[in-house]
Structure 1
Amino acid sequence: MSDADAGAAAVQDVEAEKKPELSQLEHEGDVAADYLEGLLDIADMDGDIDLDVENDRAVVSVVGDDLGSLAGPDGEVLDALQDLTRLAVLRETGERSRLMLDIGGFRAQRKSELVELAKRAVETVRASGEPESLGAMTPFERKVIHDAVADAGLRSESEGAEPRRYVVVLPA
């Protein structure tokens, strides 16, 4: 085995170690669901909790009527609840979680809007051959844009500092 092959194998081994197992992700989802059910009870709100695993992360969705206040303006409350839910999972499991929380379909709707924004930016960059800067975005929003741009065959980079970090779509 060449040094390059050995190095590539070592990188794959490290990446495999970092990749959470399905049972661990399901456990994270269960812990998150218990925590969120408690919050819903305290807030005297009704909602069903759906659990899934996507892209090596637990996805927890709270669905129901009148959940807009739990998402808040521009998803600010949702982001805070996601952070609190991740802390609850950390407390229970001792492991940092990358779980994604959605409430009332807010993130799903926002993701759809961002994919359309990325498509328009890709078209502009292809037509002009010049980089296109987008507005400030949350980490979730930037990730959606980066994925959509990569799927279209172009590249993108994040620039700036939080909370004004933004994405630049670059020509191929």
Structure 2
Amino acid sequence: MPTFQGSTIQKAIETGLKQLGLPRDAVSVEVVRENKNGFLGLMRKPAIVNLKPLEPPIDADPTPSDDPPAKPRAGKKLATALTDGAGKKIASAFNDITTKKRDNQTALAMVQSYLEDITTGMGIDTQVTSERQGNTVTFQLKTDEEGLLIGKHGKIINAIQYLAQTEFNHYAKSKWTIMLDVGDYRERRQATVTRLAERTAREVLATGKAVYLDPMPSFERKTIHTTLVDNTYVETHSEGVDPRRYVVVTPKRP
């Protein structure tokens, strides 16, 4: 069976139809693999499909002088069937999938699998474990290449965490927070953010001008707000839209 590739399933099908010189309703399609965009443009995988030309209809008693009405092609028969009983069954099955009850354990399993796939795609040998405390689930990523997984100022680990939270929200019933940690990075980072908040407050007090911090995830912004909430001389608020939302530290109004 001929196999064709494309950046998406649709493009793979179009490539195959062009090479075979056949219309869409003259072939059956088997999806071998869906396309994968990878993480940060890495490890992209094209979609792969098999296209099998359908058998042409055979006339029972063809006569040159009095041709019978043309029989519908197999593809048209398939299309008709899909719009009748078979189509209703497929639609019903699809509805069952899309209306399936959300489940927290399934969502956590999907996040676990997602993290294993994404670290494998990055070429980083990683062991993934998880622990839940209240409404927060922390996935611990154990690896000998911590720096590559964390990234500068935590940009890589924060990006993966954002995607993992999105994956969890897609399947979960509850609104739990997904956290990723590598070694003791989160503990060290929280101490760094706390010092940043205190240093920024001194700068605002000295200059009398507002300071706009770099964008950071919500839990780090919360650390800034919490650290300075009782400060007599400055106040904080957030601006922008995630993932580019940031904290502004300003002199406290009289």
Count residues with an aligned counterpart. Answer: 148
1: CA distance between counterparts of 2:185 and 2:209?
Answer: 29
Do the aligned residues in 2 keep the contact of 1:136 with 1:167 (CA within 8 Å)?
Answer: no
The residue aligned with 1:86 is: 165
RMSD: 3.7
* Match of residue 57, structure 1, among 136, 139, 158: 136
**Regions of 4+ moved over 6 Å:** none
2:252 is the alignment partner of 1:136: no
Unaligned runs of 5+ in 2: 1-103
Do the aligned residues in 2 keep the contact of 1:28 with 1:58 (CA within 8 Å)?
Answer: no
Give, as a single letter, the amino acid of the residue that structure 1 aligns with 2:246. Answer: R
Residues 2-45 of structure 1: CA distance to partner in whole angstroms, max 9, x if unpaired? xxxxxxxxxxxxxxxxxxxxxx5x87655433432333344453
1: CA distance between counterparts of 2:231 and 2:216?
Answer: 21
The residue aligned with 1:36 is: 115
The residue aligned with 2:237 is: 157
SS of 1:99's partner is: strand
1:69–1:112 Cα change, 3 Å: same
Identical residues among aligned pairs (%):
24
Do the aligned residues in 2 keep the contact of 1:60 with 1:100 (CA within 8 Å)?
Answer: yes
1:133: Cα distance to partner?
1.7
Do the aligned residues in 1 keep the contact of 2:158 with 2:217 (CA within 8 Å)?
Answer: no
1:115: Cα distance to partner?
0.5
Residues 69-119 of structure 1: CA distance to partner in whole angstroms, max 9, x if unpaired? 222233222232112212322333255653122234444332211101112
1:164: Cα distance to partner?
6.7
2: CA distance between counterparts of 1:95 and 1:82?
Answer: 17
Do the aligned residues in 2 keep the contact of 1:65 with 1:104 (CA within 8 Å)?
Answer: no
Moved more, 88-97 or 75-84: 88-97
Higher helix residue share: 1
Moved more, 88-97 or 62-71: 88-97
Give, as a single letter, the amino acid of the residue that structure 2 aligns with 1:91. Answer: H
Q: Which has the higher contact order (CA 8 A, sep 6+)?
A: 1
* Match of residue 76, structure 1, among 137, 142, 155: 155
1:145: Cα distance to partner?
0.8
Do the aligned residues in 2 keep the contact of 1:71 with 1:104 (CA within 8 Å)?
Answer: no
Give, as a single letter, the amino acid of the residue that structure 2 aligns with 1:137. Answer: P
